[in-house]
Amino acid sequence: MRNSSRRQCDYILILILVLLTGCEGLKVLTLTNVSGGNTTVIVKPKIEELGKNNIHNYPIGQLGDSLVIKLPTDSSFVLLSTFTTMMFGSKIKPYDLRIDYLRIETGVDTIAADSRQEILDLINDERTRYRPNTDRQMTNGKNFGNIMIR
């Protein structure tokens, strides 16, 4: 009897510690070029705050209110990276994005998303969704989205 009540108390303490320390989450949306060739990515409005973690020495340019990125093969670009207040149920929502338009131009295809919802729909689109069996290993889940350029 004594062991079981002690074990229950231990489980409750562990649960409280998890809830206290695991309340913050991270939302990340990544655009990854696995097409085998260079790709041009255009986003609107242009992202003003580009850091080393977002883009690594890729030729970029400004085109009016747009940001143009030449994305080499086997490289990626972070479209969204933000902390949230809750880890659980922190699915990426349209209002999390800072861009309203995304255009991906490869040698054989062009994909355009004209709204934030259309950008998020690319996560599950057959042409651009992440395939764990064939794509290289990366985090994928509710608060980690991947758009794959094929």
Per-residue confidence (pLDDT) for residue 57, from 0 to 100: 44
- Bridge partners of residue 68, in order along the sequence: 42, 61
Closest CA relative to residue 142, chosen from 97, 69, 89:
89
Per-residue confidence (pLDDT) for residue 141, from 0 to 100: 73
Extract the tokens encoding 96: 């999390």
Per-residue confidence (pLDDT) for residue 88, from 0 to 100: 57
Please tell me the pTM assigned to this model: 0.73
- Do 34 and 134 form a contact (C-beta atoms < 8 A)? no
Per-residue confidence (pLDDT) for residue 69, from 0 to 100: 87
Per-residue confidence (pLDDT) for residue 86, from 0 to 100: 62
Per-residue confidence (pLDDT) for residue 59, from 0 to 100: 47
Per-residue confidence (pLDDT) for residue 116, from 0 to 100: 95
Edge to edge, the sheet with strand 25-33 lists: 75-84, 25-33, 144-149
Per-residue confidence (pLDDT) for residue 47, from 0 to 100: 64
In the block, residue with structure tokens 């489980």: 11
First to last CA, the chain: 60
Closest CA relative to residue 89, chosen from 27, 140, 132:
27
Which residues of the chain, if any, have pLDDT below 50?
A: 1, 17, 20-21, 51-57, 59
